[in-house]
Amino acid sequence: MPSTRTRPLLALLGAAAASLALLAPVSPSATAAEREPLRYVALGDSYSAASGVLPLDPTAPPACLRSTRNYPHVLAGQIEADFTDVSCGAADTTHFATSQYPGVAPQLDALDRDVDLVTMTIGGNDSGVFIGAIQACGTAGLSTLGTGSPCKDEHGNEFVRTIRRVTYPSLVEALTAVTRAAPNAKVGILSYPWIMPRSEGCYPQMPIAEGDVAYLRRLQRVLNDAVARAAEATGVTYVGLNRLSDGHDACQPVGDRWVEPVLLGTNPVIVHPNAMGERKMANAARRQLGLR
């Protein structure tokens, strides 16, 4: 048994040992685990692929027109992720489970239980409804030299009905498949940034008739709402861009717009996000998904 003289010394030695234990370096295995990057897979269509923004991704199928400056690449760099990008221009929800082009695997094939993060834009190409509406309204606007509301007069609620009856359930099905294929991942779906302003357009830069500007804007709002509702129904995070992209539509000048117009734009793929728009989308996804 220690004497009364040695007890204080033993206590000091014990305290010193405890202090040294606290100061001891973390084991290499623990440090490696802390630094292990997130496994991130990007799915989606041309708004995810940044079709038209150069340079092209040399690892992508040429038909996908995927850019190395798309929002997934930007986001992956920000969070230093272990990154796989299978986004592809013109994709719709069916291309999650089926091949879009010969030799191009279904996008869901990139997912498994070890994936930590998934992002996408999808739905705008389904049934050709959104892209089809832009083309139809552009053609109609040219026919009247930008006057009247020829697109609304011809199509009425046709596009809105398609989004609600066809696109929305397709989104739910696609997002459900994603969460099943990557059950441990945080999944985010971005809305589409505004293409048209609230009221006054910019004919002929965007060849939409004056009376169809609000019509097309409402259609996009319905599409983004369908994306938001599908996300809520499937437990997916909705990255909303309605507020953030307001005032950055295709009618705005260079340096302000996130989406390029039909005429006098900087991208060969018209009515798609430019590099700045993709950066802003990446920032929104990082913030709203709580990524560091």
C-alpha dist (Å) from residue 279 to 200, 210, 226, 247, 276: 26, 30, 24, 16, 5
Which residue in the list 19, 46, 51, 199 is annotated as catalytic?
46
CB burial class (10 A; 0-12, 13-18, 19+) of residue 84?
middle
Q: How far apart are CA 54 and CA 212, in angstroms?
A: 31
Which residue in the list 73, 95, 155, 272 is annotated as catalytic?
272
Other Cβ atoms within 10 Å of 47 Cβ, number? 27
First to last CA, the chain: 55
- E strand or H helix at 239: strand 237-239
Helix, strand and coil in the chain, % to nearest 5:
50, 10, 45
Instruction: Show Cβ contacts of residue 4 under 8 Å, excluding neighbours closer than 6 positions.
Output: none
Tokens standing for 269? 């793929």
Q: How far apart are CA 120 and CA 239, in angstroms?
A: 10
Name the β-bridge partners of 67. 56
C-alpha dist (Å) from residue 80 to 15, 30, 40, 75: 40, 19, 10, 8
Q: Is 155 in the active site?
A: no
Q: Is 248 in the active site?
A: no
Which residues are known catalytic residues? 46, 272
